[in-house]
Amino acid sequence: MRQPLVAGNWKMNGTRESAQLLIKGIINGMAGVTRAEVVVCPPFVYLELVGAALQGTQIPLGAQNVSKEEMGAFTGEIAAPMLKDVGCQYVIVGHSERRTLYGEGDQLVAEKYARARKEGLTPILCVGELLEEREAGTTEEVVARQLDAVIDLAGVASLAESVVAYEPVWAIGTGRTATPQQAQDVHAFIRQRIAAQSKEAAEQVRILYGGSVNAKNAAELLRMPDIDGGLIGGASLKAADFLTICQAAN
Ligand code: PEP
């Protein structure tokens, strides 16, 4: 049985004060969330602050990005051992905003995934199609390509201990959500593609849905058999909404 997982991607939002308020609100509302795992991914500069607040809780800390390099002269980058050093257990790789706004391609994303694993971080690998790709009927082709780049580099077995997030790009931050059936279809496709190489990895990998999940639509999405949780952007910035989603996953 896969443990449900809800990850909050705070993106480039907040201040020290608001980060502190948000994490306190989340921690204080976690009483009923006993089954689902809840992860928060604040901006780099607030990782330590949020990590300190998380001491003694069951909530793991995650980062939003990582360098493919181990360490060294890479100005502005953050290395996986640094993330470990400040207490991160998870890291998002290949978020669509990184792919589309910062030109991260499949190979680079796969290298980041491999680096994260090598340093003992659990990657949350984001995949998903653009609107024009969905309209052209190439969703599965795109998702397969993004997934295969990682399998080719890091091996299919690595997915057993990793997380995949299916995030249709047209649904991210747009208020336009995939229907539960649309999401389920792609989740099932991802699981089948992994199963073709490793039944065990397919059975164990947690596949999250992301894209305008909110307090109202979470329950019906999370009810689908291959949706193991959510990657939450906008709604993770309001403790009450985020907690409602965590309860739904629970
Ligand atoms: C995301 O950034 O991963 C995301 C799903 O954002 P939102 O929930 O705001 O659509």
Assign 1 a pLDDT band (cuts: 50, 70, 90): confident
Centre of ligand 1 to C-alpha 9, Å, is 7
Mean pLDDT of 157-163: 98
Mean pLDDT of 26-46: 97
Residue 20: alpha-carbon gap to chain centroid? 22
Told to judge if 95 belongs to the known catalytic residues of this protein, a careful annotator would answer yes
Centre of ligand 1 to C-alpha 123, Å, is 17
Centre of ligand 1 to C-alpha 142, Å, is 19
- Whether ligand 1 lies within 6 angstroms of the CB of 168 is answered as no
Residue to mutate, 9, 10, 97, ligand 1, most ligand atoms under 8 Å from C-beta: 9
Mean pLDDT of 155-177: 95
Q: What does the alpha-carbon distance between residue 229 and residue 249 come to, in Å, rounded to a whole number?
A: 6
Q: How do residues 63-76 score in pLDDT, each as one tens digit?
A: 999 999 999 999 99
Residue 149 has pLDDT above 90, yes or no: yes
E strand or H helix that includes residue 51: helix 47-54
Q: How do residues 178-221 score in pLDDT, each as one tens digit?
A: 999 999 999 999 999 999 999 999 999 999 999 999 999 999 99
- Whether ligand 1 lies within 6 angstroms of the CB of 241 is answered as no
- What pLDDT, on the 0 to 100 scale, is given for residue 155? 98
CATH fold of 15-249: TIM Barrel (3.20.20)
Mean pLDDT of 169-178: 92
- What pLDDT, on the 0 to 100 scale, is given for residue 142? 98
Residue 194 to residues 98, 112, 123, 150, 170, Cα–Cα distance (Å): 24, 20, 16, 11, 24
Contacts of 67 (CB under 8 A, 6+ apart): 74, 77, 78, 79, 80, 112, 115
Residue 175 has pLDDT above 90, yes or no: no
Q: In this structure, which residue's CA is closest to atom 1 in ligand 1?
A: 233
